[in-house]
Amino acid sequence: MTYKETLFFIAKCLTISHEINNKISVENELKLNTIDWDSVVKVSTAHYVFPALYCNLKRANFLHYLPEELVNYMIYITDLNRERNEQIILQALELNTLLLKNNITPIFLKGT
């Protein structure tokens, strides 16, 4: 798969719950078993969408098309990401409480 093909495949995977044509297309590609998973992992990780990719494929019930080792890795990374996000939320809540106690109204932007 070229970079462009990989990016397009990832984009389709990220929209399978919104676009039925993409869901059908992704499932057909998965059935062909021609996906370059190394490329998909590298590109989706570089664009910070790897956990979202896993969640969408899981929601569509497509994980059985993937290599078991890849699914296990996706679960591991998604769990790590979830734990990190939970820590960020706790820190934001603590910071919010502290600022409000000092009559400062915070505005949280990207990342929280």
**Could you read off the pLDDT of 69-111 as tens digits, one per residue?**
999 999 999 999 999 999 999 999 999 999 999 999 998 887 7
In a domain, 54, yes or no: yes
**Could you read off the pLDDT of 57-73 as tens digits, one per residue?**
999 999 999 999 999 99
In a domain, 90, yes or no: yes
Give the domain extent around 64: 3-101
In a domain, 16, yes or no: yes
Q: Tell me, what's the pLDDT at 108?
A: 84
Count of structural domains within the chain: 1
In a domain, 12, yes or no: yes
Contact between 16 and 53 under an 8 Å Cβ cutoff? The reply is no
In a domain, 109, yes or no: no
In a domain, 110, yes or no: no
User: Cβ-count burial of 65 within 10 angstroms (0-12 exposed, 13-18 middle, 19+ buried)?
Assistant: middle
What proportion of the chain, given as a percentage, has pLDDT over 90? 93
Q: Length of the chain in residues, anyone?
A: 112
Task: Give the CB-side neighbour count of residue 102, counting CA atoms within 13 A.
Answer: 7
In a domain, 78, yes or no: yes
